Amino acid sequence: MRLDFFPEDVKPHIIPKVEGDLYYKCLGCSAQYSIEKLLYVCPSCNQVLLIHDRNASSLKKISGIVWQKIFDFRKLLKIPALKGIYRYHEFIGSCIPLESIVYLGEGHTPVVEANERLKGQVGLRFFYKNDGQNPSASFKDRGMASAISSIKYLIDQNLVSDVIAVCASTGDTSAAAALYASYLSPLIKSAVLLPHKKVTSQQLSQPLGSGAHVFEIPGVFDDCMKIVEHLSTQYSVVLLNSKNAWRILGQESYSYEIAQDFEWDMKNKVVVVPIGNAGNISAVMNGFIKFYEADIIDSLPKIIGVQSEHADPVFKYYLEPDEAKRKFIPMDTKPSVAQAAMIGNPVSMPRVVKIAEKYNSLAGHPQVFFVQVTEQSIMDWQLIANKNGHIACTQGGECLAGLVKALEINIVHKGETAILDATAHAIKFSEFQDLYFKSKLPKAYEIEPDPANINLPSFIQPDNPNLTPSQEKRLGEKDFQLFVKDISEKIAKRLNLKASL
Ligand SMILES: *Cc1c(COP(=O)(O)O)cnc(C)c1O
Ligand SMILES: [Zn+2]
C-alpha cells in the first residue's frame, strides 16, 4: 500500500526510524560492549552475551495499541526490507538501516490449526506454526537474516571486510548460514562444520548447493562446536552459531508473529518449543518479554521446552525444584530422531536460566516448564500429525509429544490453546520416517515401529511379464490396453473400489 493511504496516527511510524542504540551485555558480569566489534563472548569473563537497546524505554512513548496498529498496517507495505522479521524493526535491530537488511523471504510462517480428529486424539485445541516454510526450511533463517544483516551493516560502514563466516551445525544452521552468506557473495564466504553422518542427506546438500566450504568432522555436534569456538577465538572469522547474540535477536520474531497471529491476545496460550542448543527457547521467551514490557501483549503465554530423553540436560537441570541447588551438568547424548536438537552441552544454557527466571517473575507465577519425552513418542506423534495435514519435522513431533506429556502431568489444561513450533520441514528429516516405515531404525534409538503408523509403497506389476512397458521398449496398442486393464483391476481390488454404473 502507498504511504499516503495509511491512517494519520500510524503514518509517522510506518517506516521505522533508525534510532536504536544497541550494545552487547554480558550475562555473567553485566559488562557492556559496542556492537561495532565482532564479539561472541565476554572478553573478561567468557560468558555469552545478549543485545540490548539503550533507547528501549523510548518505545514506551508509543502505546501498545498503536504498536499493534503499526505492525498490522506494516503488513501492507511492499518494501522488501520490512517484509520479513524486520516488520518489528524497533524490537529486532533498530540500529540497522533498511539498505543493510538482507531479506530472502523469511518469517511470517503459516499457523495451521489441528483438525478435529487430531485435536480429539491429543485432547486440546492446538496449532502448528510452520517454520519449515522459511527459505532454507527451518526457523534458523530468522536468526540468520538478523546475523547476516548485522554483518552487512558493518561491511557498509567499512568496519569489516573479507568476511569468512563459520558455524557448527546439526544441519539447519549450516543450511541457513550458507544460503544467507551466498546472497552476499563475494563479500561473505561461509564455512560450515558438520558432525560426520549426523545430519540428513537433504541437510548436507543444502550448504553444498549454496557453495559453502563444507567440512565433515568425526564425533557429534558438541565436538564441532568446540572446534568452531576455537576458530573464532584464534582466527579472524565471524561466528554464525546462536552463541552470536544477533541470532537470538532475529529469532525473537517467532514470538512477535505469534502475538500478531492471535490478535495480540496471549491469554490461555501455550507455546511449545524443542530445545537443542537452547538459543530458540531463549529467543522465544525474550521476545514475549519485550512485547509484554512494551504493553503490546497483556499476558505472557505459558512456555513448554521439550527434550528427548536421549538429550535432556536442560530438563534435568530443572528437575531440582530448589533454585539454589540446581547445577548444570553437560551430558553425552544418545542417538535421537530429533537430531537437530541432539545436544548435550547447550551454549545458551546461561541465557535460559536468566531469561526463564525473569519470565516467571514477570508472570508472577511459574510460567516456563520443561518436559522430557521418549524417542518413541517423538516419532509416533510426528507421523500422526503428518497423517492429519501437517508437515512437521521430527522436532515438531517432539513438540506434540511434549504437549501430550504436559497434559498428562497437568502442566497444561484442556481449556488452553497451544502453538507448537514445527521448527523445520518434514522433508529434511524424511530419512527417519523411511527407517521407521522399513523397521530399520538402529536399536540405539529405542523405537519400535507401530504397524498402524507404517506406510510403504506397493509395487503393482502385471501377471504376464511380456505385458510390462518400459521406457526403451513400448508395448503395442493391444498389449498396452491389456496392461492398463490388469493393473487397474489390481488397484481396484486393493482399494475395494466399486464398479461405476
Ligand atoms: C536448531 C534446531 C532446533 C534446536 O534449536 P536450539 O535453538 O538449538 O535449541 C530444533 N529443531 C530444528 C529443526 C533445528 O534446526
Ligand atoms: Zn562478562
φ/ψ of residue 135, rounded to 5: -55, -40
Rounded Cα distance, 23 and 350, in Å? 19
Q: Is the fold of 122-135+252-440 the same as that of 139-245?
A: yes
Fold exhibited by the domain 139-245? Rossmann fold (3.40.50)
pLDDT of residue 337: 98
> Is the overall model pTM greater than 0.95, yes or no?
yes
Residue written as grid cell 529486532: 92
**Structural contact between residues 176 and 141, judged by C-beta atoms closer than 8 angstroms:** yes
Give the closest residue to 21 by CA, choosing from 48, 57, 49, 71. 57
Q: How many Å lie between the centroid of ligand 1 and the Cα of residue 466?
A: 52
Percent of the chain's residues with pLDDT above 70: 100
Q: Give the residue, out of 48, 314, 423, with the most ligand 1 atoms within 8 A of its beta carbon, to mutate for a pocket test.
A: 423
Mean pLDDT over 81-91 rounds to 98
Average pLDDT over residues 460-471: 93
CB 176 within 8 A of CB 137: no
Kindly provide the residue ranges of all beta strands, DSSP E only, lying in 196-274, ordered along the sequence. Answer: 213-217, 238-239, 269-274
- DSSP state for residue 86 in the 8-state scheme: G
Q: pLDDT tens for residues 318-333?
A: 999 999 999 999 999 9
Q: C-alpha grid cell for residue 234?
A: 584464534
Residues 284, 242 contacting (CB under 8 angstroms): no
User: CA 299, CA 5: separation in Å to the nearest integer?
Assistant: 32
Closest ligand to residue 43's CA: 2
Cβ(395) – ligand 1 distance below 6 Å: yes
Q: Is 393 in the pocket of ligand 1 (CB under 6 A)?
A: yes
Q: Give me the mean pLDDT over the 131-150 stretch.
A: 98
Residue closest by Cα to atom 15 of ligand 1: 172
The number of beta carbons lying within 10 Å of the beta carbon of residue 412 is 25
| Per-residue pLDDT at 421 exceeds 90 | yes
Confidence (pLDDT) at 360: 98
- 93 close to ligand 1 (CB < 6 Angstrom): no
Q: Residue 382: CB within 6 Å of ligand 1?
A: no
Closest ligand 1 atom to residue 273 Cα is 10
Query: Ligand 2 centroid vs 324 CA: distance in angstroms?
Result: 21
Instruction: Kindly list the domain boundaries of the chain, sorted by start residue.
Output: 122-135+252-440, 139-245, 465-494
Which ligand has the shortest distance to the CA of 27?
Answer: 2
The answer on pLDDT for 84 being more than 90 is yes
Tell me whether strands 22-26 and 49-53 are parallel, antiparallel or unpaired.
antiparallel
Residue carrying the nine cell digits 504493553: 295
When pLDDT is averaged across residues 221-230 and rounded to a whole number, the result is: 94
Nearest to 413 by CA among 444, 379, 349, 369: 369
Q: Which of 277, 373, 394, 399 for mutating ligand 1's site (highest number of atoms within 8 Å of CB)?
A: 277
Average confidence (pLDDT) over 39-47: 95
Ligand 2 centre and the CA of 52: distance in Å? 15
Q: What is the mean pLDDT of residues 42-70?
A: 95
Q: Give the number of whichever ligand sits closest to the CA of residue 45.
A: 2
The predicted structure's pLDDT at residue 372: 98
Cα(84) to ligand 2 centroid in Å equals 32
Ligand 1 pocket mutation, candidates 170, 203, 251, criterion most atoms within 8 A of CB: 170
> From the CB of 242, is ligand 1 less than 6 Å away?
yes
* Residue 127 alpha carbon to ligand 1 centre in Å: 19
Q: Pairing state of beta strands 188-195 and 269-274?
A: unpaired
Ligand 1 midpoint to CA 21 (Å): 29
Banded pLDDT at 118 (limits 50, 70, 90)? very high
CA-to-CA distance for 422 and 126, rounded, in angstroms?
12
List the shell of residues around ion ligand 2, using CB closer than 5 Å.
Answer: 26, 28-29, 31, 42, 45, 47
Report d(CA 44, CA 40) in Å as an integer: 12
What was the pLDDT predicted at 501?
Answer: 79
Topology (CATH) of 122-135+252-440: Rossmann fold (3.40.50)
For the CA of 341, the nearest ligand: 1
Q: What is the pLDDT of residues 330-357, one digit of tens each?
A: 999 999 999 999 999 999 999 999 999 9
Nearest ligand to the C-alpha atom of residue 29: 2
User: What is the pLDDT averaged over residues 292-309?
Assistant: 98
